[in-house]
Chain A
Amino acid sequence: MAKINPDFTKELSKYGAFDPNACYNCGHCTAVCSLSDEQNSFPRKMVRFSVLGLENEIQESLDPWLCYYCGECTATCPREADPGELMMSLRRYLTVKYDWTGLSGLLYRYIGVTLSAFILLALIVVGVGASLNFDLHKIMQYGHLFEMFAIGTVFLLILCPNVLHMWWLTVYKSDAKPKIKNYFKSFSDLIVHMFTQKRALSCDDNKFRWLEHLILVFSYLLLLFTTVFLNWFETNNVLIIFIGYIESIFIFLITFDFVRRRVKKDAEISTHSQPSDWFFVIWLLLMGLTAILVRLAIDFHFIDTFSWLYYLHLIVLVQWALIIVPFGKWTHFLYRSFAIYFQKVINT
C-alpha cells in the first residue's frame, strides 16, 4: 500500500526540468524506449512513481541508473513532459538519497552552498600555502600527500558506505533475496560495465560520444595513477612524463568537447544542464588544463616564476577531490555500474 504524495514533484523539480503535470499516460515514451519490456514499462513507471510521489518505490528502484539518456522518449513525448530529463533528475535525487552525510543534498539543491564550499576550500589551500611561506617544493609534497590521503578517505568514508546504502535500498529491501553466489557470478559484469559503459551502446547510437567517454574515463583513471603513484610532477622519468601529458591532453580535449555540447545543446542529453553537470565537466577540464600547464612550467623551468599555476591546480584538485568526487556527479561512475551489477545479482 503506497500513499500518494502530490508535493513530491515540487521537491523533485529542484533536481531538473521535468514537467510532471504534462504527462497524460499515453505511453509513447515506453513504446520507443529500448529498455522497456512486458514486465518493466520504461520510463513510464518512473514517471508515474514521480507524479504520485512514491518515494520509497523510487529509492528502491535501479531503473534510473539503467537509462543512458538517449533522449528518444523526450523527442517522442507529445506533451513535452521530457521523461528523459525526469530520469536524469531522478539520478540526481538518488545520488542525494544514497549519500549518508546529506551533504550531496545541500550541494545539489543550493547553488550558494556549493559556491561557498568551493571558495572555502580555495581559501584553505591559500592559507596552508601561506603558512608554508609559499615554499613550492614543500607545497608540492603536501599536495601529493593530500592526493593519497583524499583518495583513501573519500573511498572509505563516503563512497563505500554510499554504495552499501544503495545496495541496502535496492537489493536488501526488495523482495528478491539473491543467493550469495550470485554476487560472485555477476562480479565480472561490474568490472566490465564500470570501465566500458557497454550498456550505453545499446541505448544510444552515438558511438563517437561513447568512445570519447571511454577514453576520458581511462585517461582520468590513468592520470590519477600517474600523479598519485608515479608522482608525475616530481619524476624525471621521460616515459612517465610523456604518458602524463597524453592523459591530460585527452582529458582537456574531451571535456572541452563536452562543454561545447552543453553550450550548444545539440543533443537531448546536453540540453538541460544543472550546476552539478557544469561543475563536473568544467572542473575535469580545469584539472586537465592546469596539469599540463604545471608540467610544462616544470619542464621549461619557469615554475618558480609561475608558481601560482601549481596553486591553481591544487585548488582545482582539492575542490574536485573533496566536493565533486564524494558528493557530486562523479559518483555516477559507481552507481551506474553497481546498478547493472545489482540487477544482474537479483535477476540471476
Chain B
Amino acid sequence: MKENRIGVYICHCGGNISDYVDVNKVKEAVENDEGIALSKTTIFACADSNQKEMVEDIKEQNLSGVVVASCSPKLHLLTFRSVSERAGLNKYNYVHANIREQVSWAHSDDKIGATEKAIQIVKAAIAKVKLAEPLEPITVPTVNAVAVIGAGIAGMRAAIELADAGSNVILLEREFFIGGRIAQFDNLCVSNETGKELITRLYNEVMSHENVTLYTGAELVETSGSVGDFKIKIKVTPRYINSHCAKGELQKAIDVCPVKVPDEFNFNITDRKAIYHNYPSEYPQLPVIDMKNCTRCGECEKVCSSIDFSQKEKIIESNVGSILVATGFDPYEPEVGEFGYKTIENVVTLPQFKRIVHYAKDKLLYKGKLVRNIAYIYCVGSRQLDGENKYCSRYCCTSNIYAAITAKKQFGNINNFHFNRGIRTYGKQELLYDESSRMGDIYLQSFEDLPPTVESVNGKTVVKINDYLTGGKELEVEADLVVLVTGMVPRKDNSIEKLLKIPKGRDKFFNEIHMKLRPVETVIDGVTIAGACQGPKNIMESMNSALAAATKSFSLVDSGELAHEPIVAIVNADNCTYCDLCSQACPFDAIQMIEYNGKSIAEINNSTCKGCGMCIPVCPTNALDLTSFTDKEIFSMIDAIANHS
C-alpha cells in the first residue's frame, strides 16, 4: 500500500464560512490524523496567491492527495483539479469538501453544530482521498461531420457556418421544399427583403458548398452511437419526377392533375394539386407528387415524360459526430370557437391573413366581400391565463403590425384596430409600432382576465373590449375581418424528440441545459438545438442561435477526438450474470450485453456513460462499481463520519 501524504486546506471564504464554522477547530481536528502531511486554513482558497502556494506545497511536500474544504464543487472543483494538475498530481487525487452551501450557510443558527458537521465532512473527504485512484480521461474518436435537421433559415445558416469551418454537413429537410416557415413570409422587418429572397440567398450559399449534402423529403429514422460518432439512418421519399426535364411539360402536368386538396403552405386558404410546388421559383425547383393524395389516374404521365412512379424510397446511412436540430415551430391553431375561429366566417389567423394579403390584388377582399375594418386580437395562444402556453411568442406583435401596415399601404382606406395586451415590439421593431400609430391605427388594450370578445350580431362581426386605455370603457368595432394574432407552438410532429430523447421544457419546446451558460446544448451529448424548436424566436434570434449551435457542434467534431470524464461505471465480469436490470435503469443507453468467456455480461459504453450511478444500486450481484465513487470509497467516507460522531 502506498504511503499517504495528504494536504488539507480549510477555507474561510472571506467570512462566509468562518463566521459560522470555527475553521481552526476543523484544522486541529484533522491535522494529526494518519496520513496528513499538511493542513492549513486560508482566507480565500480560490485566490491566485493561495493556488500558487498549493502548487508549491504539493511539489515540496510530495503530496499524494489534496482536500480543499470550501464552497460547492459546482463552483470550484475544476479550479482545484487544475491546481493539482499544474503541480504534477493526477487531478482525480483531488477531493472537494463542501462546507459552505452544506454547512455554514445551512446552519448559520448553530455554530457548534456547524463546526462538528464541517469536521465530519472534511474527515470523510480525507477518507475518500486516501483511496482515490489516479485516472486518465477517456478519449473517443470523432467524425468531422454534422447532421443538421431542418432546412429552414436556422438549419441552412448553421449548415453554411459548419461547412465554412470545414465540417461535412448532412442537411435534412422533411418537406420537399426548403425554407420552412420563412418561405411563407413576405417582406421582413427590418430589411424589407422578402422571406423568399432570404431563403433563396441561403439556399444558393448552401448549394455552392461541396461539403453540404441536402436531402429533401428526408426524415431521420434511426440513430445509435454517441457524441463523436452517431450512426444515423435517413429515409428519403422520392419526388416521382425526374430532374432534367422540360419546364413546360411539368406545368402541363400540374394543370391536368384532377386532384384538389387544401394547400397547407397557404394555411388552407387556397387549393393545390397532387402534383405541386408551393410557389413558382421555389427551391428545389422541381415539383413533387404527393402520394398521399395522388389517385394514380395517370393524366400527368400523358403530358409529361419526366413523371416516374417507379422511384422508390431510399434509406441512407451515415456517420456524424454531432446532430444539430433546427426543426422550427408550428403556428398556434386556435380551438374551434376561440374568438369565433371557425364558428364566425370572417375570423382568420395571422398566417392566413398574411397569405390573404399576399394573394390580394388591388382590393382586399375576403370571401368576395370588401374589407375595410380589420380587428386584430393579440396573444391568441400565447400568455394564456388558463391554457398551457404561458410564454410570449415574441414575433407576433411585430409580425402583425407589419402585416397591418402593409395592408393599409397596399389597399388604402383600411382601418386597423389592434386589440392588444401590451405591445412588445422590442428593439428596432418599435419603429413599426410608431409607423403604425402615425398611420392612424387604433390600439385598444385589455388584460388577460378580461379579453375582447368576438360575436356575430345580425350578420355583422362585432369585436368588443373593455378598453383599459379609456378607463375600462366598453367599446365595439364592426369588423369586416378579424385576425387572430397567433403565436408559436412546438411542432406537432415529435418524431425527432422521441428519436433523440431531447428533453422539453415547461413550454413544450426543446430544452437547453442552461438558458444563459449553455444555451444551445441539450443534456444529450452531441445534440445541439437552434432556432424556434427551442422556443419562440424572431428571425434574428434564430440566426444567432443557429450560429451558436453550429459553433458548439463544430467544437465537438473538429479535433478528431473528444475527451470524456473517466468517471464511468465498471463491470466486474465474474459477478455479472446479465439480468438486464442495469440497462433498464440506464437513462443514456450506455449498457449493452456482450459475450465474455462463454457467458453474457454487461458492457459499459464509456463514451455514452455519464457516471450517474443509476445502475449501481439495482445490480443484484453487486457486479457494478463507479470509478472515483467506488463502494470502497463511499463506505470509508461513511465510516469516517460514523467514527467521528
Contacts and interface: CB of A to CB of B under 8 A. Distances in A.
Does chain A bind chain B?
A: yes
Interface of A: 1-4, 6, 9, 20-25, 41, 45, 48-49, 51-52, 54
A49 B415 CA distance: 17
A6 B442 contact: yes
Contact of B440 (A9, A41, A45): A9
Nearest to B463: A4
B437 A52 contact: no
A171 to B, nearest CB: 20
Interface stretch (B203-211, B469-477, B587-595): B469-477
12 contacts: A3-B476, A4-B417, A4-B442, A6-B415, A21-B438, A22-B437, A24-B434, A24-B443, A41-B471, A48-B469, A49-B470, A52-B470
Nearest to A45: B471
A43 B442 CA distance: 18
Contacts of A25: 443, 445, 469
A21 B439 CA distance: 7
Interface string B466-489: 010111011111100000000000
Contacts of A54: 470, 475
A52 B437 CA distance: 13
Contacts of B478: 3
B477 A48 contact: no
Which of B417, B440, B474 has the largest number of chain A CB atoms within 10 A?
B440
Nearest to A7: B415
B464 interface: yes
Nearest to A24: B437
A333 to B, nearest CB: 31
Given A6-B415, A21-B440, A1 B474 contact: yes
B421 to A, nearest CB: 14
B414 to A, nearest CB: 10
Most chain A C-beta atoms within 10 Å of own C-beta, residue among B433, B443, B470: B470
B438 A2 contact: no
Contact of A45 (B437, B470, B477): B470
A136 to B, nearest CB: 58
Contacts, number: 49
A1 B442 contact: no
B172 to A, nearest CB: 46
Contact of B476 (A1, A24, A48): A1
Residue of A4, A9, A22, A52 contacting most chain B CB atoms (<10 Å):
A4
A22 B417 CA distance: 16
A25 B473 CA distance: 15
Given A1-B475, A25-B443, 5 more contacts: A2-B475, A3-B475, A4-B417, A4-B477, A22-B437
A52 B473 CA distance: 11
A49 B442 CA distance: 12
A2 B471 contact: no
A51 B439 CA distance: 12
Nearest to B436: A21
A23 B443 CA distance: 10
Q: Which 8 A-B pairs have the closest CB atoms?
A: A48-B470, A6-B415, A21-B440, A25-B469, A21-B438, A4-B477, A1-B474, A2-B475
Contact of B475 (A9, A21, A52): A52
A48 B444 CA distance: 10
Contacts of B439: 21
Contacts of A1: 464, 474-476
A41 B442 CA distance: 19
A2 B465 CA distance: 10
B236 to A, nearest CB: 52
B438 A6 contact: no
Contacts of B442: 4, 6, 51-52
Contacts of B445: 25
A2 B474 CA distance: 7
A49 B443 CA distance: 13
B220 to A, nearest CB: 48
B508 to A, nearest CB: 34
Interface string B386-424: 000000000000000000000000000001010000000
A20 B443 CA distance: 12
Contacts of B476: 1-4
A301 to B, nearest CB: 65
B425 to A, nearest CB: 12
Given A1-B464, A4-B417, A6-B415, A22 B438 contact: yes
A25 B475 CA distance: 17
Contacts of A3: 475-478
A163 B50 CA distance: 90
A2 B478 CA distance: 11
A152 B473 CA distance: 43
Interface in B590-625: none
A48 B443 CA distance: 10
A2 B477 contact: no
Contacts of B417: 4
Contacts of B473: 2
Contacts of B443: 24-25
Nearest to B440: A21
B459 to A, nearest CB: 17
Nearest to B465: A4
A71 B470 CA distance: 22
Contacts of A4: 417, 442, 475-477
Contacts of A9: 440
Nearest to A23: B437
A309 B415 CA distance: 56
Nearest to B469: A25
Interface in B252-284: none
Nearest to A9: B440
A327 to B, nearest CB: 31
Nearest to B416: A6
Contacts of A23: 437
B440 A6 contact: yes
A21 B437 contact: yes
B493 to A, nearest CB: 41
Nearest to B373: A6
Contacts of A2: 473-476
A293 B101 CA distance: 97
Nearest to B468: A25
A48 B438 CA distance: 15
Interface string B47-81: 00000000000000000000000000000000000
A129 to B, nearest CB: 52
A52 B442 CA distance: 7
A55 to B, nearest CB: 13
Nearest to A25: B469
B349 to A, nearest CB: 23
A232 to B, nearest CB: 53
A237 B443 CA distance: 67
A78 to B, nearest CB: 12
Contacts of A45: 470-471
Contacts of B469: 25, 48
A49 B467 CA distance: 11
B267 to A, nearest CB: 28
A276 to B, nearest CB: 26
B374 to A, nearest CB: 11
Interface in B320-370: none
Nearest to A57: B473
A23 B433 CA distance: 12
A48 B417 CA distance: 14
A153 B471 CA distance: 43
B325 to A, nearest CB: 40
Nearest to B439: A21
A9 B438 CA distance: 13
A122 to B, nearest CB: 42
A109 B470 CA distance: 28
A140 B561 CA distance: 115
A25 B477 CA distance: 20
B450 to A, nearest CB: 15
A211 to B, nearest CB: 37
A99 B587 CA distance: 83
